[in-house]
Amino acid sequence: MTFEMLKLAAAGPEILVLAGTCLILMVDVFRSQGRTLTYWLSLLLLFMGGGMTLLTFGEHVGPALNGHFIRDALGDLIKIFIYLTAFATFVYSRDYLQDRRQLKGEFLVLGLFAVLGMLVMVSAGSFVSLFLGLELLSLPMYAMIALDRNSATATEAAMKYFVMGAIASGMLLYGMSMLYGATGSLDLIRVSETLHRMMEGHAGQEQLVLIFGTVFIVVGVSFKLGAVPFHMWVPDVYQGASTPMTLFLGTAPKLAGFAMLIRLLVGTLDPLVGQWQQMLAILAVLSMAVGNVVAISQTNLKRMLGYSTIAHVGFMLLGIIAGNPQGYGAALFYIIIYSLMAAGSFGMILLLSRVGFEADLVEDFKGLNDRSPWFAAMMGILMFSMAGLPPFVGFWAKWEVLRAVVNAGQLWIALVAVAFSVIGAWYYLRVIWFMYFEKPRDTTPLIPAVDMGVMISANGLALLYLGVFPSSLIAVCLTVWGVR
Amino acid sequence: MSLPLLSSIIWLPILGAGTVLTLGEHRQNLVRQVTFGFAVVTFLLSLGLFTGFDPTTYAMQFVEDAPWIPSFGIRYSLGVDGISAPLILLTTFSTVLVILSGWEVIQYRVSQYMAAFLVMEGVMVGAFSAMDAMLFYFFWEGMLIPMFLIIGIWGGTQRVYATVKFFLYTFLGSVFMLVALIYLAYTADSFNILKLQALDHIGLNTQILIFIAFMLAFAVKVPMWPVHTWLPDAHVEAPTGGSVILAAIMLKMGGYGFLRLSLPIVPDGSQYLSGLMIALSLIAVVYIGLVALVQQDMKKLIAYSSISHMGFVTLGTFAAFTALSLGNRSAAVLGMEGGMVQMISHGFISGAMFLCVGVLYERAHSRLISDYGGVANTMPIFAALMVLFGMANSGLPGTSGFVGEFMVILSVFQANIWYAFLAATSLLLGAAYTLWMIKRVVFGPVANDHVAALSDINRREFIILGVLAFFVLLLGLWPAPLVDMMRESVGHLVDQISHSKI
């Protein structure tokens, strides 16, 4: 083993983030008054990490760190959006947390460690590094949710998330151990090669182990994504956690979960594709059904968005079960757009909240058009985009998945998916209804912080712009899969 | 081609909407004037479609083509022919009138109101001129959001129920069309509508399924019985301008969809289900006509009358199959032309009737027939115009309402005498419900103090109604320019549906 095999340059941005986070942690310890220096340093670090990934996009492709780290274009693309959504989370949360004197260094540093965990997950080259990244993502998040220690619901949410997350990690680990036992390797590429050989040889006894391993891995991944029937934690945690935490939870980790799905199922377990495709198909349809139908009766906007997340995850899984690069590219595009929309939606809840007032009920948006037409329009864009209506990019995200499904010959699934989309449109319409057709109950003038207002506006306008000119992002999402 | 005419007609109003929104709420009169300016300029640009139109060919004209989403081969492709050009003119013309009609009555969020109508105008013209299936769908769905907001913000007491019903109904129908379009594009390896029309060798069962998918979208839009129930609510609760745009143009989208997509792409499927479509059209004509007869609310009455008149459009379109099966091509062409003329004429007439009701509502704040009586005594000029439009709605020869209905009845008569008999009852029923309403509202002695206090229409309202009256009479007495414009395209369409694709 030589030093060259480590190929540290490929993991450059991750090393930067690690070093930067440790530095920020030390700076935060010794700087007592005001937290804004830590905040700006965190933003700077995310910007630098994202910038470095963008500048070296597509270079250093291949395994690094003795095979535990894989750098490729797909990973780079997902990582750029992880940096972007984490950046948005910090910007959206700053004002809210400062008002409540909760902008502690712990929040920012834990968030940065979670980002690092996500980056490691996305580039995982072995079961060990994948699990390491997953835990590095999850443990800080449990702590972040519990930071709000004066809130009983937050503590409950943290407990629920911790217990469910531990079970999920356990399932995943169990599945990984079965695959290790069957193939004798932890390296994802080598496991995949061994599985190919084993499937060709039709080794009977080992097949059962493989199927068991696949099932446990699918279960673990579905827990993390929040697919039915492993979705129970999503509404409770989304509602119970304080809104900045829900924002963080609902955006970047979904991208990382998607990457985990890809690395494990599409990449490693490719020889067993027939097995997990069927499982995912059932999960997808159930998720769309449960998510869309139960969201209708929700009065708490965060809980409603939690159920809508379940529905969106189901839709995204449809792209995966299409089984070809067009489908994977569609699912990638979908999850990226979803994370942008989720960031904006929770950001709007943060925008409307003030000291002593949490704007997490749908009712709190009543008459927003009278209070602030611009931000009502931004929320309108977010809601219509989530519902999948043109001219916003949410339409193209749904469309691309539908196209992949139809072209793969699964017409009935496409029809079921669009039927559930129409059912789902109702609860987004309700938000629009409250904003535009009702008089405001709360007539406090809405004056958000400048950075928040600018970022939300950019978020909303990006959805409109990408809706009219989606071609470049769509093309990138397809190119990373090798499609034209 | 110096100026891309179609793109200008589409994007200029949308640009105008952005301008108007930035003007904000504090300069309401400026907002109105700027909107009116944009609407008028768009209308004048669209006249270029009329003057520059070549009626001797059925090929697409004013074509524009540019890449949009190269990864899937979706292109920004526009073009018009004899079917879409008159509809675009109707759109730009109606928008000018609607902007004028909302001048005084809309006081809340004027800039958003005007912006919504400008966006609607651009999007509707886009839907009529799109030559790429995904561009068409983009504009088709894009109409939902402005209409949803127009009905919901400026509508009547039950507006939320009406607008949500409108949205979900239309959305549900449209998504099945989306799946069908994706499937067709996969088969044809292109999203271009002309290439989809040229698809051959599609099995009958596949054609029937595709036709049903399209039908769900278009039948809801037309609207056809029994998926028509959203329309009376939407029309009644919408503000006057919204009702006019809904009736005059959005309903025509459904008819346009049948002509542009269903018939050419799946002619055998259309022919197989044409009996069903004719039956639904006749139910719309007769049954809905009877429903209109018992309405107490003027707007609801006109809404049901709209459904009944749109029944003629679908009747003319699908009776063409019956005519063709008897070998009578000229009857098929006549029926389709009649359906198209009916679309344009109905745009004028129902638009005018909704504007008349709007005039009355602005003054007396009631749409109930029982609250009026003897309006002619206090509003003679208005009464004259309203009676003219009522006669046109009944299908009086000399007005545009007669031309379309007569052409359709003539064509259907050659196909099947019973269809013609049922269709002709519309002349009876139309006269019955319209003239009875006119009689109760306009004629007779002054019924109550509210009517006595009514003031006649001012200059702005007179211009709106007068211009509409002019076109109703013009089209009724001299429909040749319109029919000449569409002749080649309709003939080509009839040829397309005569060839089996199985």
* In chain A, % of residues over pLDDT 90: 69
- Judged by DSSP in three states, B262 sits in helix
Burial (CB < 10 A; 0-12, 13-18, 19+), residue B458, is exposed
CA distances from B498 to A256, A372, B322, B407 (A): 55, 57, 11, 20
Which of A381, A416, A423, A429 to probe the B interface (max B CBs under 10 A)?
A429
pLDDT bucket at A4, cuts 50 / 70 / 90 = low
- Band (pLDDT 50/70/90 cuts) for residue A204 is low
Give the pLDDT score at B256: 95
Using DSSP's 3-state secondary structure scheme, residue A263 falls into helix
Cβ-nearest to A433 among B109, B112, B152? B152
Whether A471 sits inside 8 A of B69 (CB atoms) is: yes
Q: What is the pLDDT of residue A323?
A: 87
Is the pTM here over 0.80, yes or no? yes
State both tokens at A62.
């291949």
Residues 6+ apart with CB under 8 A from A389: A395, A425, B141, B142, B144, B145
Comparing CA positions, the residue from B292, B344, B315, B382 lying closest to residue B482 is: B344
Q: How far apart are CA B402 and CA A349, in angstroms?
A: 56
For residues A85 and A347, what is the distance between their CA atoms, to the nearest angstrom? 11
- Does the pLDDT of residue B27 top 90, yes or no? no
pLDDT score of A333 more than 70: yes
Phi, psi of A194, deg, nearest 5: -60, -40
Interface of B with A (CB under 8 A): 67-72, 109, 112, 134, 137-139, 141-142, 144-145, 148-149, 152-153, 159-160, 163-164, 167-168, 171-172, 175-176, 178-179, 182-183, 186
pLDDT band at residue A198 under the 50/70/90 scheme = confident
For residue range B185-229, what is the model confidence (pLDDT) as tens digits? 999 999 999 999 998 888 999 999 999 999 999 999 999 989 999
CA distance A268 to chain B (A): 27
What is the enclosing helix (H) or strand (E) of A442? none
Q: Which residue from B134, B153, B164 is facing A429, i.e. has the nearest CB?
A: B164
Nearest-neighbour CA in chain B from A50: distance (Å)? 26
Q: Do A406 and B186 touch (CB under 8 A)?
A: yes
Q: Rounded to whole angstroms, how far apart are CA atoms A368 and A441?
A: 10
A406 close to A398: Cβ distance less than 8 angstroms = no
* The pLDDT of residue A33: 66
- Rounded to whole angstroms, the Cα distance separating A364 from A376 reads 12
The beta-carbon neighbor of B71 closest among A406, A425, A471 is: A471
- If we measure between CA atoms, which residue out of B413, B248, B408, B415 comes closest to residue B314? B408
Chosen from A383, A471, A473, A477 to mutate, greatest number of chain B CBs within 10 A: A471
From the list B71, B139, B148, which residue is nearest A475 (CB)? B71
How many inter-chain contacts (A to B, CB under 8 Å) are there? Answer: 88
State the Cα–Cα distance between residues B307 and B229, nearest whole angstrom: 10
Distance from CA of A143 to the nearest CA of B (A): 42
Note whether A415 contacts B176, CB cutoff 8 Å.
yes
Using the Cβ of A333 and the Cβ atoms of chain B, whether some distance falls under 8 Å is answered with: no
For residues B128 and A70, give the distance between their C-alpha atoms in angstroms, rounded to a whole number.
50
**What dihedral do alpha carbons A198, A199, A203, A206 form, nearest 10°?**
80
Query: What is the DSSP secondary structure assignment for residue B66, as one 8-state letter?
Result: E
Please give the structure tokens belonging to residue B76: 């920004």
Residue the block writes with tokens 């997490």: A360
The residue behind tokens 């009116």 is B36
Q: Is the pLDDT of residue A446 over 70?
A: yes
Task: Note which residues in 365-394 of chain A have CB less than 8 A from chain B.
Answer: 369, 373, 384, 389-391
Contact B179 A432 (CB under 8 A): no
Name the phi and psi angles at B214, rounded to 5. Answer: -65, -40
> Nearest by CB to A403, which of B141, B153, B182?
B182
From residue A151, how far is each of A107, A156, A157, A246, B485 by CA, in Å?
A: 16, 9, 10, 14, 71
Tell me how far apart the alpha carbons of residues A283 and A226 are, in angstroms, rounded to a whole number.
10
Phi and psi at residue B117, to the nearest 5°:
-70, -35
Burial B488-501 (b: 16+ CB within 10 A, else e): bbbbbbbebbbeeb
CB B202 within 8 A of CB B266: yes
Q: What is the pLDDT of residue A29?
A: 85
Query: Distance (Å) from the C-alpha of residue B164 to the closest C-alpha of chain A?
Result: 8
What pLDDT, in 10s, does the model give residues A135-149? 999 999 999 998 887
Give pLDDT, residue A2: 57
Q: Are A418 and B176 an interchain contact pair (Cβ–Cβ within 8 Å)?
A: yes
**Listed residue (A211, A309, A196, A305) closest to A257, CA to CA:** A309
Q: How far apart are CA A306 and CA A234, in angstroms?
A: 6
Cβ count within 10 A of residue A29: 11
Distance CA B161, CA A61 (A): 56
Cis amide linkage into residue A63, ω under 30° from 0 = no
Please state the rounded mean pLDDT for residues B459-468: 93
**How far, in Å, CA of A286 to CA of A162, rounded?**
24
Judged against a pLDDT cut of 90, whether residue A354 lies above it is answered with no
| A384: chain B residues, CB-CB within 8 Å | 145
Q: Which residues of A touch B168 (CB under 8 A)?
A: 422, 425-426, 429
CA distances from B343 to A95, A204, B311, B436 (A): 56, 69, 10, 24
d(CA B124, CA B9): 10
Rg (Cα) of chain B, in Å, rounded? 22
> For B138, which of A390, A415, A419 is closest by C-beta distance?
A390
Contact A484 B142 (CB under 8 A): no
Ranked by mean pLDDT, the top range of A203-207, A324-328, A446-450 is: A324-328
CB B289 within 8 A of CB B426: yes
Tokens of B494: 């009839």
Give the integer Cα–Cα distance in Å for B87 and B339.
13
Mean pLDDT of A361-379: 92
User: B77 has which bridge partners?
Assistant: B65
- Strand-pair partners of A187: A126
For the beta carbon of residue B29, count every other beta carbon within 10 angstroms: 9
pLDDT given for residue A59 in this prediction: 80
Element holding A366 (H helix, E strand): none
Over the range B304-329, which residues count as b (16 or more CB within 10 Å of their CB) and which as e?
bbbbbbbbbbbbbbbbbbbbbeeebe
Mean pLDDT in residue range A344-356 = 90
Residue with more model confidence, B302 or A208: B302
Evaluate the CA torsion angle B265, B271, B273, B278 in order and state its sign.
Answer: positive
Q: Which of B456, B453, B444 is nearest to B379 (CA)?
A: B456
Residue B192, classed as helix, strand or coil, is strand
Question: Are B183 and A411 inside 8 Å of each other by CB?
Answer: yes
User: For position A32, what pLDDT does the model report?
Assistant: 66
Q: Is B70's CB within 8 Å of A471's CB?
A: yes
Please say whether the dihedral angle defined by the alpha carbons of residues A2, A118, A170 and A207, taken in this order, is positive or negative: negative
Omega of the bond leading into B226 within 30 degrees of 0 (cis): yes
- Sign of the C-alpha dihedral, residues B462, B463, B467, B468? negative
As a whole number, mean pLDDT of residues A205-222 equals: 87
pLDDT digits (tens, 9 = 90+) for B151-181: 999 999 999 999 999 999 999 999 999 999 9
- Beta-carbon separation of B179 and A411 below 8 A: yes
User: What integer pLDDT is reported at residue B438 of this predicted model?
Assistant: 94
A421-434: pLDDT as tens digits: 999 999 999 999 99
Euclidean distance between CA atoms A467 and B251, whole angstroms: 26
Amino acid, single-letter form, for residue B103: W
The predicted pLDDT at position A202 comes to 65
CA distance B437 to A462: 51
Please report which helix (H) or strand (E) contains residue B65, including its range. Answer: strand B61-69
Q: How many CA atoms lie within 13 A of A252 on its CB side?
A: 32
Distance CA A361, CA B412 (A): 58
Tokens 């088969």 found at: B187
In angstroms, rounded to a whole number, what is the distance separating the alpha carbons of residues A216 and A213? Answer: 5
Helix (H) or strand (E) holding B392: helix B380-394
Other C-beta atoms within 10 Å of A205: how many?
A: 7
Residue pair B297/B440 in contact by the 8 Å Cβ criterion:
no
A69, β-bridge pairs: A64, A124
ipTM associated with this complex: 0.93
